[in-house]
Structure 1
């Protein structure tokens, strides 16, 4: 009886190996930013941040700071989203935003862009 149970467990453990999902390493990939790009000058109001889909990413980390991340007076957004765009109302000023792709095991480097909002 013990031997039969052992054989059943052995067969189950061997067959479940095929069900293991390998997570793709995206850490060397780069996100392509669509907007706003570096040194863009935009009108006050809703600003749409967008980038291309990165294959094998399941979510994106999006951050917005003013005036820069290195010299931030305020972090306006620090969010994880599944879409490839996000809108936020911004007032006049200088901003930096960055985005990285993530999956359950890996993440890319951030891509950082700066822009200003003027009248």
Structure 2
């Protein structure tokens, strides 16, 4: 009986351990940095990060240092997000998150000219 309780305690502890992802980097796939688009819909896409529960996607204009307009600030579980954006220059940034840790943001610039 005591051995069973000890085994269950070890399993429960393993489920509680959250991996530290803070030293990992989100690799952005598309669109490339300084890309220019003239379509109505844009898909932002990145590589998944192991042990991440989700991703915080931030799209600001003109950039993260001096954001005059926040087009999007959301947390999603997938590695892609499609959105319609108005004309202008935007910086899109993604960071991975789990219940205890976040990575640094990885950012790129995109220009929309419809």
Shorter-chain TM band = 0.7 to 0.9
Which runs of structure 2 are paired with 1:1-119 in the superposition (5 Å)? 12=5, 15-20=8-13, 21=15, 22-119=17-114
Q: Measure the CA separation in 2 of the matches of 1:39 and 1:67.
A: 12
CA-CA distance at 1:12 after TM superposition: 3.5
Q: TM-score of the superposition, structure 2-length normalised?
A: 0.88
Q: How many residues align?
A: 112
CA-CA distance at 1:17 after TM superposition: 2.9
Q: Measure the CA separation in 2 of the matches of 1:114 and 1:71.
A: 13
Q: Measure the CA separation in 1 of the matches of 2:31 and 2:47.
A: 13
Greater C-alpha radius of gyration: 1
RMSD over aligned CA atoms reads 1.9
Structure 1's consecutive aligned runs of 4 or more residues displaced over 4 angstroms after TM superposition are none
CA-CA distance at 1:67 after TM superposition: 1.1
* Residue deviations 1:49-84 (CA, integer Å, cap 9, x gap): 000111111100000001112222110111000000
Q: Measure the CA separation in 1 of the matches of 2:69 and 2:39.
A: 18
Q: Which runs of 5+ in 1 are unaligned?
A: 1-6
